Amino acid sequence: MYTTWYEDIRADTGQIVSSRVRLARNLQDYHFPRKITREQARELVAQAQEAAHAASGQTGRLDYTDVAALPDIMKVAMLERHIISAEMLHRSVCGLLATGDGSLAIMINEEDHIRIQSFGTGDGIDAAFETAERTDNALEQVLDYAFSKELGYLTSCPSNTGTGLRASFMLHLPLLERNNQIRNILSALTKFGMTIRGVFGEGSESLGSCYQISNQVTLGKSEQEIIESLKNITAQICEKEHSLLHKALERERHDILDNVYRSHALLGSCRRIGAKEAMSLLSNVRLGFAADILDMPRPNKSLLSIMMNIRDANIQIMCSCNSTEPKDVCRANYLRSVFGSI
């Protein structure tokens, strides 16, 4: 049985929760997905599957899922776990190739024909890029990518043209959020071709004080330049968060400790709780463990995996086999099983 990448306990330390590298690619002889015919889309899926099979010696086994054929709740659950994008929820022909632990996933017929995603916990962006690049090179030996000597890889959205690379960190920034400094960070990042978004990317809100920071510009820079710039800027943001935490612990230590311990106690005793409130409480507990101020046993799961499990579609799937109770009750039951006792 596989252990998913986000169950790694390293996701619970420091400000960097996870890393992701995504490469957007299109095939030479097909329209972009928004213009492609159903027959061509099926052909493209078949080509991608054949290419993945041929590349398995370099990528490992990639299992195929016909995403378009899944029930809506399963699609949303995959979106909540960041395995697919919102773009794929309504595609009539689309699929996913993924490793058993989910650390490597290839979306087919998303906004682009192929989007290679590699994930890792903490600041493992270099390893994620190495995996994505190795996979891309293996597929390119079989597939005919749309490529321009002047522009680089051609993509459906012009902002991705060039390297086609989007590198991102998921950051836990409770102190910066509390001090209303996220907007200032966004303004500063724009000058460096970077942006900060909510948990599910563009247009989404922050949940549990978690934010995505990623590059906006892919043209005119190498992959390594993009990643190094992201790492440098992220290090500055993390240092600012750490500094605010240090000052807060000096000035209001008892208030912070009270908030952290109350959150842990509520998670272990709640009988009904919404996803947003649960994420806020989990954020407080994560701060307590990361700052080494919460003297309680750690859960036997990573907090990142818990955050994914409590989202609406995932908790509904988890409870559907043995419960007809409302999601908020099922969520509370699950959280008590992790932090307290039933």
Judged against a pLDDT cut of 90, whether residue 245 lies above it is answered with: yes
How much of the chain, in percent, has pLDDT values that exceed 90?
A: 74
CB 161 within 8 A of CB 222: no
Torsion of CA 238, 243, 247, 252, to 10 degrees: 10
With CA atoms as reference, report the closest residue to 86 among 213, 201, 217.
Answer: 201
With CA atoms as reference, report the closest residue to 188 among 179, 199, 177, 196.
Answer: 196
Report how far residue 272's alpha carbon sits from residue 76's, in angstroms, rounded to the nearest whole number: 22
Q: What is the pLDDT of residues 35-87, one digit of tens each?
A: 899 999 999 999 999 999 988 888 888 999 999 999 999 999 999 998 999 99
If pLDDT is split at 50, 70 and 90, which confidence band does 323 have?
low
Name the burial class of residue 193, with classes exposed (0-12), middle (13-18) and buried (19+) by CB atoms within 10 angstroms of its CB: middle
Report how far residue 164's alpha carbon sits from residue 161's, in angstroms, rounded to the nearest whole number: 5
pLDDT, residue 200, reads 54
Cβ contacts of 247 within 8 Å, gap of 6 or more? none
How much of the chain, in percent, has pLDDT values that exceed 70?
A: 95
Whole-number average pLDDT of the chain: 91
Judged against a pLDDT cut of 70, whether residue 250 lies above it is answered with: yes
Judged against a pLDDT cut of 60, whether residue 277 lies above it is answered with: yes
